[in-house]
Structure 1
Amino acid sequence: MEFQEVVRRRKMIREFHPTPVPDEVLSRILDNATRAPSAGFSQGMAFLVLTGDDLPRFWEIGGAWVSETVRTAPVVIVPMSSKRVYLDRYAQEDKGWTDRDETRWPVPFWHIDTGMAAMLILQTAVDQDLGAIYFGIAPEAVAPFRKAYGVPEDHEPIGAIAIGTPAAQPDAQLRAKLKSRRRPLEDVVHHGRWRGEG
């Protein structure tokens, strides 16, 4: 599939067939995720892949508020970021920040880089004729999630992605019900200097 078609077709899918995702397709999705940019090539992201018998517990703990139609997805990937990995990497000789001071970072690149990996998961799912949806894990669910799946304290789930074969393509009627619309390009792109609004 052409890249522009992947971008055009990428939407949050909210209803899935329970058909399993083939292993080779899941491997491609995960391999592409590891190709996301990472500051200093720190690679401080990890992915917990849940299928089969691992899923009901996840929906109980981390996705209790997610609709029943999303819960039919045969795969959930939980991308996680590790600040420790970034601080360790930047304390190495070629970086020279031996004090590991977090204030040196203008933004938390560990979360940003993991978010970019999540986008690659979403795009690769589309490229493989699958659908996907990204959703958050409620803060109060993080500790039970860690305990249930043995996730170390230094890895932070940034959300979860359900993947599978879409049960139906979003149609015009569904889109008509949406309260928000994509903002026009001229409202979000500023050339040379910021244009005021209003």
Structure 2
Amino acid sequence: MTRSFLRDPIPEVVLSRVLEQARHVPSAGNTQGFDFVVLEGDQTSIYWDVTLPRERRETFRWSNLLDAPAIITIWANPDAYLERYSRSDKQATGLGQGMEMWGTPYWL
């Protein structure tokens, strides 16, 4: 895991390639029930203001983590998995009937 970053902006072509590769990671039923939100520039500062209050930053072990020029957040869509598993090729699993049918919520 990388915990120290340069503040240099990441070229858009590089971010696009990373996101395109991430789009193809394995997912239950090949559902791909997730979206990415990319934060850059001032948005990263706002993110850290919300998630790591300034008073905690002085003792934060990996302070250079906050220098990352971009933050990619991943948002799961459980309904996409329910819809996928309600289709004919997955219907027999019963997983399309509701989130409570999933012993493990693979969208987390």
Structure 2 length as normaliser, TM-score? 0.78
Contact 1:55–1:76 under 8 Å retained in 2? yes
Show the counterpart of 1:86.
Answer: 81
Matches within 5 A, 1:101-116: 101-111=98-108
1:26 to 15, 28, 48: 15
Q: Which amino acid aligns with 1:107?
A: T
- Given the superposition, is the C-alpha separation of residues 80 and 99 from structure 1 closer, same or farther in structure 2, using an over 3 Å criterion? closer
Is 1:48 equivalent to 2:48 in the alignment? no
Structure 2, gaps ≥5 residues long: none
In 2 relative to 1, CA 33–108 (structure 1 residues): closer, same or farther, beyond 3 Å? same
Paired residue type of 2:72? I
**SS in structure 2 opposite 1:16?**
coil
Task: Give the paired residue count.
Answer: 100
1:17 partner SS? coil
1:72 aligns with 67
Percent identity of paired positions between Structure 1 and Structure 2? 35
One-letter amino acid matched to 2:97 = R
Query: What does 1:1-198 correspond to in 2, within 5 Å?
Result: 12-64=1-53, 67=60, 68-96=63-91, 97=94, 100-111=97-108
Q: How far is 1:59 from its partner?
A: 0.7
User: Is the CA contact 1:47–1:79 (under 8 Å) kept in the aligned structure 2?
Assistant: yes
Structure 1 position 19, deviation (Å): 0.7
Aligned AA for 1:31? Answer: E
Counterpart CA distance in 1 for 2:72 and 2:28 is 22
Is the CA contact (8 Å cut-off) linking 2:95 and 2:102 kept in structure 1? Answer: no
Deviation at 1:98, TM superposition (A): 7.9
Deviation per CA, 1:84-137: give whole Å up to 9, x if none.
1111211223322486233432311112xxxxxxxxxxxxxxxxxxxxxxxxxx
Q: Distance in 1 between matches of 2:44 and 2:96?
A: 41
- Point out where structure 1 has 5 or more consecutive residues left out of the alignment: 1-11, 112-198
Name the TM-score, length of structure 1 as normaliser.
0.45
